[in-house]
Amino acid sequence: MLAGLLAGDVLDVAPALLGARVTHAGVTVRLTEVEAYAGSADPGSHAYRGRTPRTEVMFGPAGRLYVYFTYGMHFCANVVTGPAGEASAVLLRAGEVVAGHGLAAGRRAGVRERDWARGPARLATTLALGRAENGLNLLDPATDGHLELADEQVPAPAVRTGPRVGVSGAGGDGEVYPWRFWLDGEPTVSAYRPAVRRRRG
């Protein structure tokens, strides 16, 4: 069931992952916020211009982790989706720690519990996801990490949508797409920041 879901269109997969649980290195996070990235159809995607050594994992198969380093200091994690050969992924933006609290507290020392996984870099730190986990198969029970869907699907009225954080859109013309999905009323959802357009010198 999970493999079939992840092989679907990223805009269907992303909201379906809300409430799902991701486990790695002794900590489990329930996802409360995600973003969809649609590969070659999406200028906001790392895979917009095709395959590179960095984006190879995004081309499948679905269910792998795409982990990347950003701003020279943080890792962020995505679940690869769609059919093999077509790059798309869901960024794990935020979540609630539901197991492994002691380990999570040690990894996020001095941070209040609500903020342990509130934001993609914080979530990756809490789950101890880094460069070594790039390509990790979340569907293989033999690996240290795995993904489980929620016991019950989140009702549609509880799901909110809006622009992705810090991404101008998918049209290349400044149009903003509502490809960020989150659970309404969840305190672990990250703060929204609009994209900042940079002028070329």
Q: Does the global pTM surpass 0.85?
A: yes
| Structural domain boundaries in the chain | 2-183
Burial (CB < 10 A; 0-12, 13-18, 19+), residue 157, is exposed
Q: What is the pLDDT of residues 2-21, one digit of tens each?
A: 999 999 999 999 999 999 99
Alpha helices for the chain (secondary structure H): 2-6, 10-16, 101-107, 120-126
pLDDT at 198: 45
Average pLDDT over residues 165-194: 79
State residue 151's pLDDT score. Answer: 84
Superfamily of domain 2-183: Methylpurine-DNA glycosylase (MPG) (3.10.300.10)
User: Residue 84 carries which side chain, given as an amino acid letter?
Assistant: A
Residue range 24-62, pLDDT digits in tens: 999 999 999 999 999 888 988 999 999 999 999 999 999
